Structure 1
Amino acid sequence: VFVLPRENKTYFGTTDTDYTGDLEHPKVTQEDVDYLLGIVNNRFPEANITIDDIESSWAGLRPLIVGNSASDYNGGNNGTISDESFNNLIATVESYLSKEKTREDVESAVSKLESSTSEKHLDPSAVSRGSSLDRDDNGLLTLAGGKITDYRKMAEGAMERVVDILKAEFDRSFKLINSKTYPVSGGELNPANVDSEIEAFAQLGVSRGLDSKEAHYLANLYGSNAPKVFALAHSLEQAPGL
Structure 2
Amino acid sequence: MSHDEKSSATTGATDATRASEEAQGRLGPGDRERNWRRLGSEEFDVVVIGGGVTGAGAALDAATRGLRVALVEARDLAAGTSSRSSKLFHGGLRYLEQLEFSLVREALRERELMLTRLAPHLVKPVPFLYPLSHRVWERPYTAAGLLMYDTMGGARSVPGQKHLSRAGALRMVPALKRDALIGGIRYYDAQSDDARHTMTVARTAARYGAVVATSTQVTGFLREADRVAGVQLRDVETGEETEVRAQTVINATGVWTDELQRLSGSRGRFRVRASKGVHIVVPRDRIVSEAGMILRTEKSVLFVVPWGGHWIVGTTDTDWNLDLAHPAATKKDIDYILEHVNTVLATPLKHEDIEGVYAGLRPLLAGESDESSKLSREHAVARVAPGLVAIAGGKYTTYRVMAADAVDAVTPDLSGRVASSITDQVPLLGADGYHALVNQADQIATAHGVHPYRIRHLLDRYGSQVHEVLAPTIDRPELLKPVPAASAYLQAEVVYACTHEGALHLEDVLTRRTRISIEYPHRGVESADAVARLMAEVLGWDEARIAREVEVYTARVEAERDSQTQPDDEAADAKRSAAPEVRTELTEPIA
Same fold (TM over 0.5): yes
Matches of 1:202 and 1:142, distance apart in 2 = 48
2:438 partner amino acid: E
Equivalent position of 1:208 in the other structure: 448
Query: Residue 15 of structure 1: which of 282, 306, 316 is its match?
Result: 316
Which of 1 and 2 has higher RCO (CA within 8 Å, sep 6+)? 2
SS at the partner of 1:62? strand
Q: Give the aligned CA root-mean-square deviation in angstroms.
A: 3.7
Correspondent of 1:52 among 319, 341, 352: 352
2:336 match: 35
DSSP 3-state at the match of 1:141: strand
Contact (CA 8 Å) 1:28, 1:58: kept in 2 or not?
A: yes
Q: 1:61 aligns to what SS in structure 2?
A: strand
Is the 1:5–1:11 Cα contact (8 Å) retained in structure 2?
Answer: yes
User: Which whole-Å CA distance do the structure 1 matches of 2:362 and 2:470 have between them?
Assistant: 38
How many residues were matched structurally? 180
CA distance in 1, matches of 2:455, 2:396: 31
Amino acid at match of 2:469: V
Q: Which has the larger radius of gyration?
A: 1
1:186 maps to 430
Q: 1:127 aligns with which of 356, 375, 379?
A: 375
Q: What are the ranges of 5 or more consecutive residues in structure 2 without an aligned counterpart?
A: 1-301, 478-533, 547-591
Q: Which residue of 2 aligns with 1:63?
A: 363
Q: Between 32-41 and 140-149, report the one with greater CA deviation.
A: 32-41
Partner residue, 2:415: 170
CA distance 1:142–1:228, shift in 2 (3 Å): same
Letter of the 1:37 partner, please give it: L
Query: Is 1:147 paired with 2:376?
Result: no
Q: Is the 8 A contact 1:202 1:218 kept in 2?
A: no
Residue of structure 1 in register with 2:464 after alignment: 224
1:233 aligns with 2:473: yes
How far is 1:202 from its partner?
A: 6.8
Provide, for residues 108-163 of structure 1, a one-character-per-residue CA deviation record: whole Å limited to 9, x for no partner.
xxxxxxxxx5x3xx12212333322122324122111222333233123223334x
**Are residues 15 and 132 of structure 1, via their aligned partners in 2, closer, same or farther at CA, if it must alter by over 3 Å?**
same
Q: How far is the alpha carbon of 1:28 from its aligned partner?
A: 0.8
User: TM-score under structure 2 normalisation?
Assistant: 0.26
Taking the aligned partners of 2:442 and 2:318, their CA distance within structure 1 comes to 41
1:60 deviates by 2.2
Tell me which amino acid in the other structure corresponds to 1:201: A
For the residues of structure 2 that align with 1:140 and 1:29, how far apart are their CA atoms?
A: 37
Displacement, 1:210? 5.3
Q: 1:25-62 deviations in whole A, cap 9, x for unaligned? A: 422122222232344445x6356433222111121223
Cα separation, partners in 2 of 1:39 and 1:202, compared to 1, 3 Å: farther
CA distance in 2, matches of 1:33, 1:203: 44
Alignment CA distance shift 1:160-1:56 (3 Å): same
Of 228-237 and 13-22, deviating more is 228-237
Q: Is the 8 A contact 1:64 1:128 kept in 2?
A: yes
In structure 2, what is the equivalent of residue 197 of structure 1? 438
Q: Secondary structure at the match of 1:60?
A: strand
Partners of 1:59 and 1:152 lie apart in 2 by 24
Question: Structure 1 residues 172 and 232, CA, compared in 2 at 3 Å: closer, same or farther?
Answer: farther
Query: What code does the residue aligned with 2:415 have?
Result: F
- Give the alignment of 1:88-107 within 5 angstroms: none
Report the CA distance shift for 1:8/1:60 in structure 2 as closer, same or farther (over 3 A).
same
Give the 3 Å change call, closer, same or farther, for CA 183–48 of structure 1 in structure 2: farther
Provide the rounded CA distance (Å) in 2 between the counterparts of 1:215 and 1:158: 38
Identity of aligned residues (%): 33
Report the equivalent of 2:305.
4
Alignment CA distance shift 1:39-1:132 (3 Å): same
The structure that is strand-richer by fraction is: 2
Cα deviation, residue 16, structure 1? 1.0
Distance (whole Å) between structure 1 residues aligned to residue 467 and residue 451 of structure 2: 15
- How far apart in 2 are the matches of 1:161 and 1:21? 31
- Taking structure 1 as the reference length, the TM-score comes to 0.57
CA shift digits 1:180-205 (9 cap, x unpaired): x5433223544xx9xx928x537614
